[in-house]
Structure 1
Amino acid sequence: MNPLDMMKFSGLWSTFTANHPKFPKFIAAASRKGVLAEGSIIAMQITTPDGETLETNLKVTASDLELIQQIKKMQ
């Protein structure tokens, strides 16, 4: 990632975490407690403004954990 894109990402991430402070705290707590480990299932649900619900889940892989570690280093 070039430095300009990195600066833009940093600003966007700061805005995201200011708007949604519970999300990074949730992820941090999960990783500290060993909950976010390879094989863990993360379930997600989105409810649109008109009430439609979309749901999915993912099984955490070793590469997912590596990505999370890289994101942590960028903060």
Structure 2
Amino acid sequence: MNPMDLMKFAGKAGKFKEDHPKVIAFLKDIGMQMKEGDVLELKYIAQDGTEKVTNFRLTPADIEIIDLIRKG
């Protein structure tokens, strides 16, 4: 990622934290408990009621990214 994109990402990440404090609180809550192999599930609900769900098994890299988000 080039430096300009990195700066843009940092700004948008800060705005995301301001707009969605419950997400950051959730990540802080689970952050100390997360370990490799745990499963994180995401659910999307559209305005028309359509739902999509996915999940993934956490890797060390995933945990590192989540730590950066919750601490940053």
Assess same fold via TM > 0.5: yes
Question: CA RMSD of the aligned region, Å?
Answer: 1.9
Question: Gapped runs of 5+ residues in structure 1?
Answer: none
Question: Gapped runs of 5+ residues in structure 2?
Answer: none
**Amino acid in the other structure paired with 1:51:** G
**Amino acid in the other structure paired with 1:18:** E
Deviation at 1:2, TM superposition (A): 2.9
Of 42-51 and 55-64, the range deviating more from structure 2: 55-64
2: distance between equivalents of 1:66 and 1:20?
A: 20
Q: Deviations over 1:16-73 (max 9, x none)?
A: 11110111221122112x2x1111111111000111000111111123223334x35x
2: distance between equivalents of 1:9 and 1:19?
A: 15
Q: Does the 8 Å CA contact 2:41/2:54 hold for their aligned counterparts? A: yes
Question: Which protein has greater RCO, CA pairs closer than 8 Å, 6+ apart?
Answer: 2
Alignment of 1:10-49 (within 5 A): 10-32=10-32, 34=33, 36-49=34-47
- Secondary structure at 2:37 match in 1: coil
Q: Percent identity of the aligned residues? A: 32
Q: How many residues align?
A: 71
| TM-score for the superposition, normalised by structure 1 | 0.77
> Structure 1's 62 and 22: CA in aligned 2 closer, same or farther, altered over 3 A?
same
